[in-house]
Amino acid sequence: MENVKVCVYAISKNEEQFVKRWVESMGEADKIIVLDTGSTDNTVNLLKEMGVTVYEETFNPFRFDTARNASLDLIPQEYEICICTDLDEVFEAGWKEKVLKAWGSDVTRLRYTYNWSFDEYGKPATSFLANKIHRNGYYKWSHPVHEVLMPLKEEKEVVVKDLVINHYPDATKSRGSYLPLLELSVKEDPLDDRNMHYLGREYMYYRKWDEAILTLKKHLSLKKATWKDERAASMRFIARCYKEKGEREEAKKWYQEAIYEAPYLREGYIELAYIYYEDENFLVAYDYLRKALEIKNKSDSYINEEFAWNSFIYDLISICAYHLGYHEESIAYVKKALEIDPNNLRLQLNLELMEK
């Protein structure tokens, strides 16, 4: 569309290592605005040197929705299309043309491909559709963390899968603020299914098994918790917690629940197979892995996990097949694993052993 202006906006804090790459990636925009929330490094100066409009404001206590809404308020009304990104994200070149081509007078939001992580070979590992490209004046940010855009008016969303943003995070950056912000979010809105799920997952990351189980079961009990992908993920996380507590049969039960909830997702089959593999019940493990491999298409949601689509599944089923005496299959599967992960020495040795 002609005469439609695009503004990229972001919040930042101590992101100097990403500034140059980010600005060059976002440079197709008509305007770039950053609200810095308290950098003590050279982030602000670097952004200004590269022509970015920078504002500075600190928030105490900090919450992501407040900061993002403040940054959104800085965008002049003449910029119809607003694109929220973080400084550790990179647009693939030619993105503006794709945005304008998909935009229309009634479109309020675009959904695009977001590559959240990459494997050691630079191939996307975890990918899903994100939707932080939106019409000015139609949305506000909500929730202290894992914030989302909430529509203020009737919305129309368009999917543009060949519009791609890649995420290259700083692995050393702490996520220590997430847990208290998630606890605050659930306290503010105990009926919000999304952040109840995230809080349960965060407890799991912190190895707080009982808190995680209780919270994830609360998620499953909420009336709004109807999205099967996320419900299945909560069930798998409950299973992981029971497994860590040594309650393996209870874990198996919850993995079965996850499979029943979302039989079109690989993750439940694979995680359940792995428990049986650990039990040296190779036949049951093999059967579940075969069922997982029958699922050919990855969903577009953030629920997808790397282990379900990388070499792991072929590695595991090759070992199971080997123990079951299915030698031709074991060789074929380990070769598939090596196609994905050719530098893996253990896989190379496994193939050598199986061929002998």
In sequence order, which residues have a C-beta less than 8 Å from that of residue 54 and are 6 or more positions away?
A: 33, 34, 35, 36, 44, 47, 48
Neighbouring C-alpha atoms within 13 Å toward the C-beta of 202:
19
Q: Using 50, 70 and 90 to split pLDDT, how confident is the model at 1?
A: low
pLDDT, one tens digit per residue, over 152-203 is 999 999 999 999 999 999 888 777 789 999 999 999 999 999 999 999 999 9
Q: In this structure, are residues 310 and 341 in contact, taking their beta carbons and an 8 Å threshold? A: yes
Q: Using 50, 70 and 90 to split pLDDT, how confident is the model at 17?
A: very high
Question: What is the per-residue pLDDT for 171?
Answer: 81
The tokens describing 278, both together, are: 């650990």
How far apart are the C-alpha atoms of 231 and 107, rounded to whole Å?
A: 30
Q: What is the CATH number of domain 6-167?
A: 3.90.550.10
Exposure string of 217-237, with b = 16+ CB inside 10 Å and e = fewer, is ebbbebeebeebbbbbbbbbb
Task: Please report where in the chains the tokens 């950053």 appear, as a residue.
Answer: 34
Residue type, 181: L
Task: Please report where in the chains the tokens 């109807």 appear, as a residue.
Answer: 226
Same fold, 6-167 and 178-292: no
How far apart are the C-alpha atoms of 302 and 255, rounded to whole Å?
A: 19
Query: Cα 89–32–175 angle (5° rounding)?
Result: 35
Exposure string of 258-295, with b = 16+ CB inside 10 Å and e = fewer, is bbebbeebbbbbbbbbbbbbeeeebebbbbbbebbbeb
Taking the domains of the chain in order of start, what are their residue ranges?
6-167, 178-292, 310-356
Cross-strand partners of 91:
165
How far apart are the C-alpha atoms of 216 and 234, rounded to whole Å?
A: 6
Query: Cα 121–124–129 angle (5° rounding)?
Result: 175
How far apart are the C-alpha atoms of 285 and 272, rounded to whole Å?
A: 8
In sequence order, which residues have a C-beta less than 8 Å from that of residue 68 and are 6 or more positions away?
A: 11, 84, 141, 147
pLDDT, one tens digit per residue, over 300-353 is 888 899 999 999 999 999 999 999 999 999 999 999 999 999 999 999 999 999
Task: Please report where in the chains the tokens 């190895």 appear, as a residue.
Answer: 207
Q: What are phi and psi of 96, to 5 degrees?
A: -65, -40
pLDDT, one tens digit per residue, over 74-106 is 999 999 999 999 999 999 999 999 999 999 999
Share of the chain above pLDDT 70, in %: 99
Q: Using 50, 70 and 90 to split pLDDT, how confident is the model at 2?
A: low
The tokens describing 152, both together, are: 């203020």
Mean pLDDT, the chain, rounded, equals 96
Sign of CA dihedral 8, 303, 195, 58: negative
Q: What is the DSSP string of 18-42?
A: THHHHHHHHTTSSEEEEEES---SS
* Alpha helices in the chain, H assignment, sequence order: 19-26, 43-49, 64-72, 95-102, 178-188, 193-205, 209-221, 228-244, 248-261, 266-278, 282-293, 312-323, 327-340, 345-355
The tokens describing 16, both together, are: 């100097």
The pTM of this model reads: 0.92
pLDDT, one tens digit per residue, over 223-256 is 999 999 999 999 999 999 999 999 999 999 999 9
Report how far Cα 105 is from the mean position of its chain's Cα atoms: 30
Fold entry, domain 178-292: 1.25.40
How far apart are the C-alpha atoms of 255 and 275, rounded to whole Å?
A: 10
Radius of gyration from C-alpha coordinates of the chain? 23
Task: Name the packing angle between helices 345-355 and 327-340 (round to 10°).
Answer: 160
